[in-house]
Structure 1
Amino acid sequence: MIAQRDQLNAVGGHADERSVAGTDQRSIPEATVARLAIYLRALVGMGKVGVATVSSGSLATAAGVNSAKLRKDLSYLGSYGIRGVGYDVSLLTDQIHKTLGLHQNRAVALIGLGHLGRALAGYAGFASRGFRISAIVDADPAIVGTRVRGLPVQHVDDLDAIVRTENIAIAVLTVPAGVAQEVCDRLVVAGVTSILNFAPTVLAVPAHVDVRKVDLAAELQILSFHDNRKSARADCEPARSGSSTMAVGP
């Protein structure tokens, strides 16, 4: 495997000499970053079953993209592929891990312990993907002080101290829309610069703060549109198949 990795790094035209640290992450398009997370999930799965190398076609299929797009995305990192051999799964996994900053085991604060918040608090997949929920926060006196997954539920009024003490890198908001902006403002003041927002509202933040919005209802509405379109198409097909052309005489 070591010899293969040396070969992967040495082949001209297929390997980028830039190290991870030398990669200008600011030049990577947002859409590519989103697909890198999908590639990583596929690669991790392959690694678990002992796959050592993977072709661009196989990885693209596993990720649901075409091969050309995958190769273009990986070129932003420095492609490690060899024609006729493919990509070293372990090496590429490590590359994407570092590019996405997942080697740092980032601390996450979960704000809001409703049904969705509790579900996220219990999700075991965060730890395996480079994140750990280090703080759970709510405003309900009946909840504050209880423990969830071994963590004490802390009060939202203590956000400044929580962010500082736990070295919070990312906050996940699962609060009602009516209080989301207020909580967001507190997080920004506390120094949080990355927020995953599940609240059904658009947050106003300074330019240095990154917000990703997850709107489950909107996603369902999009699926409803596609389902409605497929239904309309299916309704038209019998009429088309049953139609016939009649010759009209003079």
Structure 2
Amino acid sequence: MTPPKSENIPRATIQRLSIYLQVLETFQRDGIEVTSSEPLAKACDVNASQIRKDLTYFGEFGVRGVGYSVKGLIQSIRESLGINVEWNCVLVGVGNLGKALLSHREFSQHGFNIVGAFDCDPFKIGEEISGLEVVCTRRLKEQVANQNVSIGIITTPPERAQRAANYLVEAGIKGILNYAPARIVVPEGFFVEYVDFFHQLYSLAFNISDRQRS
């Protein structure tokens, strides 16, 4: 794999790579072995030149006049995103959403292994969910000390999200995926991504309303 040509790869490019990967995996399941930027662009709802530009950040792909090997491009994108290896994760907040995520097989199938579940509710501590015992959040640091955990998933109520993030930071977990509808603050060198259902619902509501007004 040729290393990236720039250290300042746009965030939007990284986000689009995940879409390309999702579509390519669908192509692979459908038995498609070779594709070009045009059908890939159509399936991803972008233009073909954008796909070619995004891929050039990470090296040279495809053969002119032939196209891309679907299997090869999947492998290359996975390497570019750093998901060609497995990642250990922990989850904080074992409510309804947390329980659903713990039982979601797609995590492990994509290389993200949830190895710990934590909550501060004494009625939940000790409960077993999807093979994991729920442990008190105060014990997070000692529990993950030797598990090589890199990612923490927050599914707490919004008012407890910052406290959950503080525990994850204290444990040295550098990446946080926050499902709670609240913004959190972490030190420099730590990374936060948000899964905001309401943001998507607001966008849908606006698009529908805007179409009805026009």
Where does residue 215 of structure 1 map in the other structure? Answer: 196
Query: How far off its partner does 1:105 sit?
Result: 0.8
Q: Which structure has the larger Rg?
A: 1
1:194 has 2:175 as partner: yes
**Contact persistence 1:163–1:191 (CA under 8 A):** no
Please, which of 90, 103, 110 is the counterpart of residue 109 of structure 1? 90
Query: How far off its partner does 1:175 sit?
Result: 0.6
Where does residue 134 of structure 1 map in the other structure? Answer: 115
1:26-67 deviations in Å (ceiling 9; x for gaps): 332111111111111111122223221111011111222110
Query: How far off its partner does 1:24 sit?
Result: 5.6
Measure, in 1, the Cα distance between the counterparts of 2:38 and 2:145. 45
- The alignment yields a C-alpha RMSD, in angstroms, of 1.4
Over 3 Å counting, the alpha-carbon distance change for 1:232 and 1:53 in structure 2 is same
**Contact persistence 1:25–1:99 (CA under 8 A):** no
**2:149 counterpart SS class:** coil
Measure, in 2, the Cα distance between the counterparts of 1:79 and 1:92. 11
**Contact persistence 2:91–2:155 (CA under 8 A):** yes
Where does residue 205 of structure 2 map in the other structure? Answer: 224
Map residues 1-80 of structure 1 onto 2, 5 A cutoff: 19-20=1-2, 22-23=3-4, 26-80=7-61
Q: Which runs of 4+ in 1 moved over 6 A?
A: none
Normalised by the length of structure 1, the TM-score is: 0.81
Q: How many residues align?
A: 214
Measure, in 1, the Cα distance between the counterparts of 2:6 and 2:137. 33
Please, which of 82, 88, 92 is the counterpart of residue 69 of structure 2? 88
Please, which of 83, 92, 99 is the counterpart of residue 118 of structure 1? 99
Normalised by the length of structure 2, the TM-score is: 0.94
- Counterpart of 1:30, as a letter, is R
- Counterpart of 1:106, as a letter, is W
1:149 has 2:126 as partner: no
Measure, in 1, the Cα distance between the counterparts of 2:7 and 2:171. 25
1:141-184 deviations in Å (ceiling 9; x for gaps): 11111111111111101110223232111111011111111111
Measure, in 2, the Cα distance between the counterparts of 1:101 and 1:24. 16
Measure, in 2, the Cα distance between the counterparts of 1:25 and 1:141. 49
Calculate percent identity across the aligned residue pairs. Answer: 36
**1:169 counterpart SS class:** strand
- Counterpart of 1:132, as a letter, is N
1:177-205 deviations in Å (ceiling 9; x for gaps): 11111111121111011101111111111
